[in-house]
Structure 1
Amino acid sequence: MTTRFNQPLGGNEMPRFAGHASMFRLPTQTNAEGLDIALVGVPLDIGTSNRAGSRFGPREIRCESVMVRPYCMYTQAAPFDSFQVADIGDVPLNTFNLLKSIDIIEGFFDDVLSHGAKTISMGGDHTVALPILRATAKKHGPVALIHVDAHSDTNDSMFGERITHGTIFRRAIEENLVQADKMFQIGLRTTGYSAEDFDWARNQGALVVPAEECWHKSLSPLMTEIRGVIGAETPVYLSFDIDGLDPSVAPGTGTPEPGGLSTIQGIEIIRGCWGLNMVGADLVEVSPPYDTTGNTSLLAANLMFEMLCSFPGCQRAR
């Protein structure tokens, strides 16, 4: 019996500026039952240290996702013919309490994963990755991590707090959520507080690829190297902070840094995950108030589509 997968609402069925604002114009449901991949909004921004506003990210990314069509013309990837996908809405956060929100997010993802679904999440600030990784590690064990960001997010604390958007990957390694020797941080750059700011992850075994090492070249060879280290069986999580890209292409974010990756390099990284055992992904730190054109959110929606195309089992020609 042929499975009937959910399909995005077409642009000739309903104008793209009309209809329900679900991710990729897909059907919605209240939980992950029956899904291969669940699209989840996590509108938290009380873990951020600079410009707030990423709580509005999921809503705006959904609005801009109406422009994303169902096939990748280069790879011929067809995620909506390959997976049952739906938008299951947003995590119901406690907007006044960060630690309670962390627990709420973890419990929400425990439920999603209990249905056997994989997840693509949209933040929200990068703090949301920690509870998602906690839930993911319960399901899959410690994961390999591909982390795109301008910042290492491995501070020990910020203003005395051990959980913020700048500390999460230190906590993730300490809690054995991530295999440090299969952790890759790509796009780190600009100023810091000391010459050793990026060394903590390196000292745990992670490969740190500063943005300067990415300038003026394709990142496809890097991704070939990363796939060789991770292998085909290890569960992999992709965490993509939009500020890993240069603010000339993604100005709508809380902590923009010059000299970042190009949109092409961002796509190369995500497409380079195909062939890995990817079990989850996130796209975080989109702050719509800082880009009223909507271009940052539109870019985020397209990157999330590329993530869908890179999950194992997606039909694609190359």
Structure 2
Amino acid sequence: MDMPRFAGPVNFMRLPHLTWDDDAVEQVQIGIVGVPWDGGTTNRPGARHGPRQLRDLSTMIRWINPASGINPYEACNIADMGDAPVNPADMADSLDRITTFYKVLKEKNIVPMTAGGDHLISYPVLKAIAATSPVGMIHFDAHTDLFDNYFGGFKYTHGTPFRRAIEDGHLDPKRTVQIGIRGAMYNDDDIVWGLEQGVRIIRIEEVEDRGIKDVMAEARKIVGDKPTYVSFDIDSIDPAFAPGTGTPEIGGFTTREAQRMVRLLEGLNLIGADLVEVSPPFDNTGGTAWVGANIMYELLCVLSQSPAIKSK
């Protein structure tokens, strides 16, 4: 309360901004990182501007979660670790730079909370934090992102990250749950491949029929108590609430439903999370980024309770 929320440095959640040179980095348990890159986008670009707007809107976030009573900033040491380095002119170089940055986070036992960027950024993050053994994943999205290639063989787009992560051994398909899948399709190749690998794909209609608690109970059972990553694409939320994204699909979750689902992750062994595909050019009100910042806060709350948080 020393400074109004519209004043002061624009850092995630008004937290301290640290670099690798700061001694305080050794005490950080959760690092919030921006990845301002959308080189994997195949239609409407702009998610490269997401981290900056998410930072701005996140300054409105308060401390205590009224549903759970969690204050993530008291539960553990959290800092804004700045942006991962990217190269807007070279995809391969960007993926390498992002992976290298997250490897340092892992070496320092810092659990990453990432703000994207398009969904391809999840691949280099997983490549870094799951380099030695595959992890499970709970994935909220309108799309599976399990496609093999785009436009005649191009393997790295925001529609392919989790196929690459499974193929490369960073993601365990039998401990991967995708929730909220919907929308018209060119074909069902992604669905068929995912099911063949053991991915549990839960369409939005199934969530509606069964209810959130039942679906999330199944998701928790599938990932178990082993290390698990959470990936939240803003287009899992209906465009009535979050229009500022590259590939919107009608019939999605409400913001209240999204909050409830994330809160039901509490207690899992979470080793990182991301919030991706906020594209400010498609919502000049900032409303989509405000939704994204609130989902990031909910993710911080459950991350702060994770057994993966190391004492420092």
TM-score when scaled to structure 2? 0.93
CA–CA distance in structure 1, aligned partners of residues 211 and 285 of structure 2: 28
TM-superposed deviation, 1:250: 0.6
- 1:13 and 2:6 matched: no
Query: Is the CA contact 1:78–1:314 (under 8 Å) kept in the aligned structure 2?
Result: no
Q: Does 1:227 align with 2:220?
A: yes
The 1:14/1:312 distance shift into structure 2, 3 A limit, reads closer
Correspondence 1:27 to 2:16: yes
How far does residue 314 in structure 1 lie from its aligned partner after superposition?
6.5
Equivalence for 2:310: none
Alignment of 1:74-223 (within 5 A): 74-138=67-131, 141-159=133-151, 160-215=153-208, 218-223=211-216
Match of 2:305 among 302, 305, 313: 313
* 3-state SS, counterpart of residue 303 of structure 2: coil
CA distance in 2 between counterparts of 1:133 and 1:212 reads: 29
- Paired position in structure 2 for 1:240: 232
Deviation at 1:209, TM superposition (A): 0.6
User: Contact 2:34–2:82 (CA<8 Å) still a contact in 1?
Assistant: yes
User: Which of 269, 272, 275 is the matching residue for 1:280?
Assistant: 272
Q: Give the secondary-structure state (helix, strand or coil) at the position aligned to 2:121.
A: helix
How far off its partner does 1:164 sit? 0.9
CA deviation string 1:249-290 (max 9, x = no partner): 110101101111111221122111111100000000000111
- Displacement of 1:313 after TM fit? 3.0
Q: Is the 8 A contact 1:218 1:265 kept in 2?
A: no
Give SS of 1:213's match: helix
Comparing 96-105 and 262-271, the one that deviates more: 262-271
Distance 1:34 1:84, change over 3 A: same
Aligned equivalent of 2:47: 54
Tell me if structure 2 keeps the 8 A contact 1:29–1:87.
yes
Q: Equivalent residue of 2:288, what SS?
A: helix
- How many residues are paired up? 302
Distance in 1 (CA, whole Å) between partners of 2:222 and 2:207 is 19
Q: Displacement, 1:66?
A: 1.3
Measure, in 2, the Cα distance between the counterparts of 1:72 and 1:194. 41
Match for residue 288 of structure 2 among 280, 291, 296: 296
Given the superposition, is the C-alpha separation of residues 22 and 217 from structure 1 closer, same or farther in structure 2, using an over 3 Å criterion? farther
Between the aligned partners of 2:32 and 2:155, the Cα distance in structure 1 is 28
Aligned counterparts of 2:199 and 2:246: Cα–Cα separation in 1: 25
Distance in 1, matches of 2:116 and 2:188, equals 30
Mapped contact 1:118–1:280 kept (Cα < 8 A): yes
Partner Cα distance (1:47, 1:196) in 2: 20
The worse-fitting range, judged by mean Cα deviation, of 286-295 and 24-33 is 24-33
Once the 2 structures are TM-superposed, how far is the Cα of residue 215 of structure 1 from its aligned partner? Answer: 2.9
Indicate the SS of the match to 1:212. helix
SS for the counterpart of 1:256 is coil
Give the TM-score taking structure 1 as reference length.
0.92
The answer on whether the counterparts of 2:87 and 2:93 sit within 8 Å (CA) in structure 1 is yes
Counterpart-to-counterpart distance in 1, 2:166 and 2:116: 21
Q: Distance in 2 between matches of 1:308 and 1:238?
A: 11
Alignment partner of 1:257 is 2:246: no
Can you list the C-alpha shifts for 1:156-193, whole angstroms capped at 9, x where unaligned? 11122111111111111111111111100111111111
Q: Which residue of 2 aligns with 1:5?
A: none
Over 3 Å counting, the alpha-carbon distance change for 1:138 and 1:314 in structure 2 is closer
Aligned partners of 1:231 and 1:258: how far apart in 2?
31
| Secondary structure at the counterpart of residue 128 of structure 2 | helix
CA distance in 2, matches of 1:314, 1:156: 33
* 1:217 positional shift: 6.4
Q: Share of identical aligned residues, percent?
A: 43
For the residue of structure 2 that corresponds to 1:15, the secondary structure is coil
